[in-house]
Structure formats: structure tokens, C-alpha cells
Chains A and B, each alone.
Chain A
Amino acid sequence: MFTFIEMEFLKLKRSKIFLLSLLGAVLPPLLMFIAVTSFDEGQTFEALFTNVNMYMSAMFAVLIFAIIISYLFGREYNEHTLKTMLTIPVSREKFLASKYIMFLVWIVILTVVTSISTLAFGFAAGLDGFSLKIFADGFAQLLYANVLLFLSFSPFVFVSLFITNMVPAMIGGAGLALVNLMVYGQNWAPFVPWVCPYLIASGEIAEYSTSITVSYGVILTTFVIGLVISYIYFTKTDVSI
């Protein structure tokens, strides 16, 4: 499996999508930096991390993850490489698993980039109250939210196997990000699998009357459903040439 992941990284060489995703990960810290320096919003490191994590995991990450999934899976169809890979031969189960793992690794990289750039922008803005604990807590919170989001994104894997074009993923991701904004703060937000990762990770879930177990259940159910339908579809369907 290590070789598969190593080769997934090689496949990303000179890839514009990888660079774009890194830019996407830097965007929330940059926007908050602008907000801090221009509108005096959140003058401490703690506030900066809180705001960045919220915008990243509840909005930007949804869009970026949708694009990443579509690229990771869809490119194998669009560049006709799936037939090349499967005739090596590679088992379809292993191939699918390697893609899921690569998606998770990519998410971790983006999380690191977001957290480090938040730190850098915080220093650039001359914010007060820096401590390693704040940084570590902010990173851990974002990582936890993004990993939960990774689980709730498995239905998108099926969608990207079914519709290999990236345009629907971009539209879907943008639409879902908007839905997240609308849902955030509503009573039923803990039931929405793409909103509750942030609510759980930030601890905001405590402000809702719904139990945290229900939100975990929603995320896990979404993950299992997405995994099962993507597995069945990928292993039982002919490869289109």
C-alpha cells in the first residue's frame, strides 16, 4: 500500500490541482489576515485560529475536498489510465482503498498548510497571545474536523466514479458549502454530515440539544453508505474504454 501512496504522489507531480488545493488551504488564513489588518477583527491568535478553522472546515474544505475527490478518482477515467492500472494487474479493491488513503493524506497536508499559514499570517499581523498550546489546539481541532469531513465525503467518491467530470464536483462542492452556511446555527445542523464535523471538533455541538453520539452516528452512517456504494459500483461495473 505504501508503494501505491508513493505513486499517487508521483502522479501529482506538476499537477495544477495539487497547487490549487494548497492555495485553497491558504485562502482562509489570508482572508482572516485581511479581516484582522483591515477591520480589526479578532486581535488574538486564539480568535484567528477559531475563525480560520470555522471558515476552513465548514466552507472552504467542502469545496476543496469535492474537487480533490473528483480529481483523484475522475482523472483515472478522463485520462484513460484506469484500464492501464487495472491491467497491471491491480485489484479494484486495493485501487479504491489506495485512493481513499491518498485522499486522507492530502487532507492532512492541507490541514498542516492551513495551520502553518495561519500562524505565519498571525505573526505578520502582529497578533497577541501566541502560545504553542494555542497552535497545537488549533491544529488538532482542524485536523479532527477535516478527518471527520473525510468520512462524510465518501458519497462523493461514488459521485465522482459515476460522473467523472470535475465541473459537477465544483458546482456540488460550492452548493454544499452554501448549504453549510445556511444550516450552521439551525437546530438540525448536528444532523447534517458536512456541518457536524466542525461542530464536534470545535465543541459547539454542546450548544445544541442533540447528543454528540447522534452526530457521530450521522457521520459514520454517511461514511459506510458512501463506502459501500462506491465499492459495489467500482468493483461490479465494467471499465469504460
Chain B
Amino acid sequence: MSDYVIETNNLSKKYSKNLVVNSVNMHVEKGKIYGLLGKNGAGKTTTMCMLLNLTYPSSGDIFLFGKNARRYSNVYSNIGSIIETPGFYENLTAYENLKVIAKIRGDYDPFRINSVLKMVNLDTEKSKEFRDFSLGMKQRLGIAAAIMHSPELLILDEPINGLDPFGIKEIRQLLKRLSHEFGITILISSHILSEIENIADVIGFMDGGVLIEEITREELSERLDKHVEFEVSDAAMAVKIFKALELKENEDFTVSENTICLYTHLNLRDKFNELFVKAGIDVRKVNLCEENLEEFFTRFVSNN
């Protein structure tokens, strides 16, 4: 029995001659938040659609909760999802839309519907029809529908699209809570990289239909480019000190006017600072700069 809630084996999708998803081997562990990152057209939505049986794979296998999804279609009842813009009946209210879903699923409970509507702050909009909802409200109703039946797995494609900063924060906290308190596994894609950086335990990088790599948050932290910036009164003197310590220019450090960027021996930055001060150099600033996910993603995708 696999420990993965989602596991794909050479999953591919081809539209005529266009291979949009190419041999994806994805591994989503139980209880983790897995962020799927990629540019537009990278194949994220198609992959998620295949996981949800909305799109049929051209080849490859999907295992959900350790079972082959093609043979055990009952696994889908344990999944909540949002794919792009949530789809609801425009002439119905939020409650009525959730009622349709719950009735068809066979677990209609008015108390539960009211409770999830409250959770996503839609409980005050009882008589408003879906067609009059703002994009943020639609997105929140999508999340309510996805979590209403307490699924063990959430597959969310761009769930924070259209949300304002407060909405984004609320949903981020909700997803973290669902994952950490209730052990729900979440596969989430977003083009807002900082969001993925904020919540994901594991990040999968997709480009051109290929899942390039899956990296844990810890591995990512280690692989992010870091450097220390010293803004000093006498850069030439500082360079002399570095060279005396056998650090190489353009390899261990670079110089630009009064700023020296150190790329190696970062843990010794306090000692270097001490040496500068002892040599009579005024150190105006010492900054530890870390590459963010966006910069890493750009560099990573370009390199691959």
C-alpha cells in the first residue's frame, strides 16, 4: 500500500500532435500541502483535470489513496475540488447551489451547509443569486463546495483567483488549518508564487507539460541563492581584507561601488564585519539577502 494520496505513473495527455502533459510522475504525501507551480500552459490544469477524471489521460496511470483511479471510481467521493473558476447555477443562491451538490452526493445536511457558508463568510448573503456574486465570493463558494463533505483530499486549481488580500489571507489560514488540524491532503496550484511559498510543504515545478522536480520546503530553503551585502565606506580596503583571507573576487564575492556582495562563508559575516570595523572601515549596512520563490522559479525553469 502506497503512502501517497496521489501518485501518477508516466501520466500524459496529447491533443492531436500537441503533448500538453508529458510523463508526469507526481507524488503527494498524506496530510501535506503540495503546491504545483508553472507558467500558463505548463500543464497544471490538465494534470488536475486528469486527476479528477474530467479529462481522460492519453497514457499513464493515476493512483488515488493507493488505488488505481480507473478501476476504483469510488475514490472520487473522498475528493473536493476547484478547477479554475468555480461553476455554479447562476439563478440559485449559495445555499441552493450547495444543496444541489449535497443532495446528489447523498449527504444533504442543512446545518453542515450553513456551517461551511459561515466558514467562508458567505452566510450573510443568503438571498443573493450566484450571478450577482463578485469573483471573490464565487471563489469562496467554490471552496465551501469543495470542503462541504469533509474530503480527505482537496485538488484546488488557482483557488485564490480574484480574492482580495483579506480573502487570500483567510483562505490561506483555512487551508493551513484543514491540512494541519484535520490532516487533509491538499494539491494546490497558483500563479501567485508567494502563496505557494507561504503554504506548501512540497512544491512541484512544471514546465512544458513536464514535472521537472518535486522539492520539499526544507530542500527549497537550502537551494535558494543567498548572499550578504556589506555597504562600506572603503570598498577597496574591504576587498583587500577578503583577498587576504583567500576569498576570490567574482567567485566568493563581487564589488559594486561601495557595496560588496558575499556569496560564500555567509555564516562568518559577523566576523568579517568585525574585521572591517577593526580596519577602520565604516560598515553602514549588512544585509542577508535570500532569493525568493519567484526568482528561484525563474532561474530553475530557465536552467531546465
Determine the chain A residues whose CB is within 8 A of the CB of B30 once the complex forms: none
Size bracket, chain B contacts = 20 to 34
Q: Say yes or no: A79 contacts B90, CB within 8 Å.
A: yes
Q: Which residue of B54, B89, B100 contacts A83 across the interface (Cβ within 8 Å)? A: B54
Q: For residue B99, which residue of chain A has the nearest CB? A: A10
Assess whether B252 is interfacial by the CB under 8 Å rule: no
Q: Say yes or no: A11 contacts B79, CB within 8 Å.
A: no
Per-residue CB contact flags for chain A residues 75-94 toward chain B (1 = under 8 Å, else 0) read 10001111111111111000
Q: Which residue of B83, B92, B129 contacts A11 across the interface (Cβ within 8 Å)? A: B92
Determine the chain A residues whose CB is within 8 A of the CB of B54 once the complex forms: 83, 86-87, 238-239, 241
Assess whether A13 is interfacial by the CB under 8 Å rule: yes
Binds A, one of B34-42, B45-53, B233-241, B260-268: B45-53
Assess whether B105 is interfacial by the CB under 8 Å rule: yes
Q: Say yes or no: A79 contacts B89, CB within 8 Å.
A: yes
Q: Say yes or no: B76 contacts A87, CB within 8 Å.
A: yes
Q: Which residue of A13, A15, A84, A89 contacts B87 across the interface (Cβ within 8 Å)? A: A84
Interface residues in A, total, Cβ within 8 A: 27
Assess whether B56 is interfacial by the CB under 8 Å rule: yes
Assess whether A133 is interfacial by the CB under 8 Å rule: no
Determine the chain A residues whose CB is within 8 A of the CB of B79 once the complex forms: 87
Q: Say yes or no: B129 contacts A14, CB within 8 Å.
A: yes
Assess whether A3 is interfacial by the CB under 8 Å rule: yes
Per-residue CB contact flags for chain A residues 1-19 toward chain B (1 = under 8 Å, else 0) read 0011011001101110000
Q: Could you say which of A82, A88, A90, A238 has the most chain B C-beta atoms within 10 Å of its C-beta? A: A88
Q: Say yes or no: B88 contacts A88, CB within 8 Å.
A: no
Q: Say yes or no: B104 contacts A10, CB within 8 Å.
A: no
Knowing A4-B104, A89-B77 touch, does A238 contact B89 (C-beta < 8 A)? no
Q: Say yes or no: A89 contacts B91, CB within 8 Å.
A: no
Q: Measured between alpha carbons, how far is A40 from B105 in the docked complex, in Å?
A: 56
Interface set of B (CB-CB < 8 Å, partner A): 45, 49, 52-56, 73, 76-77, 79, 81, 83-92, 96, 99-101, 103-106, 129, 145
Interface set of A (CB-CB < 8 Å, partner B): 3-4, 6-7, 10-11, 13-15, 75, 79-91, 236, 238-239, 241
Closest 8 pairs (CB-CB, A-B): A80-B87, A89-B76, A238-B55, A239-B54, A81-B87, A14-B91, A84-B87, A7-B100
With contacts A86-B54, A88-B105, A238-B55 known, what are 7 further pairs, Cβ within 8 A? A4-B104, A10-B96, A13-B91, A13-B92, A13-B96, A84-B88, A87-B53
